Amino acid sequence: MKQLPASIWTLTVGIVVTLIAFWAGGHNGLFPEQASAQAPLVDNFFNLMFMIAVALFLLVAGTIIFFMIQFRQRPGDEGDGVPLEGDFALEAYWTLIPAVIVIVLGIYSVEVFTEMGGFAPGGGGGNHLFMSHHSHHKMKTQLVSDTDAPDASMTEEFNAEYGFGGTDQADVTVTVTGMQYAWIFNYPEQNVTAGELHIPVDKTVQLNIKAADVIHSFWVPQFRLKQDAIPGHNTELRFTATKVGDYPVVCAELCGGYHGAMRTRVYVHTQTEYDQWLAENQFAQNPDLSGAVAVHAEE
């Protein structure tokens, strides 16, 4: 053991730490399943941060433990420690390396934020993730009628100030109202109101979020999405659910005495099931629908 040169040891330790960190980054198991197109973006970023954290922890904790054992006070050793007055090269390295890590993570996080539509609330700004899902024709139309067109989409009418948006028309738009202590979901086109969120799988969903009283926060852990509902300020959340199933909707902003009970569920349906649910509720909630059906059919 003592015969091996220090450089070989350093190299071996470096490889082992890297391998453990890589493995830990991808297997941290800290998140629930991924159920939206946005979830992998968030998770990949988090896993990279976790990987770096594991590597740094192993290096720092490992060095401390190694030094405690290797350079412990031996019996009979009454001498002072080696007088050290710093090491410029070492200090330059351990300043530069974290600086590079922080800058890279900063750029990466902005990239993820952009891809999720963080710079496009209210239909402004670019957003390649969602644009790629839709036809170029649609995009062109949107760009041409950019300024206050009379046939403005729901997104533009709602005019969100904050959140995650997109420039194109979403497949499904739902108005979400947070209030003490419930979430109310309204489907404006069908005049349907529900206490749970129902959406089709693999379709872009636009949530137009409002708050009736205090600040709430709409959070679906499986989607990796969270957006505040702020009284007096419209927010939005644009996403695509990728897995049929039902997931918890949690209020993530302390909003009063029953905040902990402010939960509901989001049901991700197949398109057929979704259409069926919507139609059933449309009939149930709009008794004088015979006329409305005729109007819809004509459109």
By CB under 5 A, residue 131 contacts Cu ion: no
Give least dist CB 246 to Cu ion, A: 20
Q: Which is nearer to Cu ion, 39 or 255 (CB)?
A: 255
Least distance in angstroms from the C-beta of 232 to Cu ion: 16
Burial class (CB in 10 A: 0-12, 13-18, 19+), 195: exposed
What DSSP string runs through 204-244?
A: EEEEEEEESSS-EEEEEGGGTEEEEEBTTB-EEEEEEB-S-
* Min dist. Cβ of residue 210 to Cu ion (A): 13
Around 280, how many Cα atoms within 13 Å sit in the side-chain half-sphere?
8
Please spell the DSSP secondary structure of 38-89, one letter per residue. SHHHHHHHHHHHHHHHHHHHHHHHHHHHHHHHHTPPPTT--PPPP-----HH
Rule CB under 5 A: is residue 216 a binding residue for Cu ion?
Answer: yes
Site for Cu ion, residues 225 to 284, rule: CB under 5 A = 251, 255, 262
Does residue number 51 form part of the binding site for Cu ion (CB under 5 A)? no
As measured in angstroms, the least distance from the Cβ of 252 to Cu ion is 8
* For Cu ion, the closer CB: 39 or 209: 209
Closest CB to Cu ion among residues 210, 216? 216
Please tell me the count of residues contacting Cu ion according to CB under 5 A.
4
The piece of 16-24, 53-61, 131-139, 214-222 that touches Cu ion (CB under 5 A) is 214-222
Q: Which is nearer to Cu ion, 216 or 238 (CB)?
A: 216
3-state SS assignment for residue 285 = helix
From the CB of 219, what's the least distance to Cu ion, in Å?
A: 10
What residue type is 166 in one-letter code? G
Q: Residue 254 Cβ, how far from Cu ion at the closest point, in Å?
A: 8
Q: Is residue 174 within 8 Å of 208, Cβ to Cβ?
A: yes
> Measured on CA atoms in the order 166, 167, 173, 177, is the torsion positive or negative?
positive
Does a cis peptide bond (omega within 30 degrees of 0) precede residue 162?
A: no
Residues that bind Cu ion (CB under 5 A): 216, 251, 255, 262
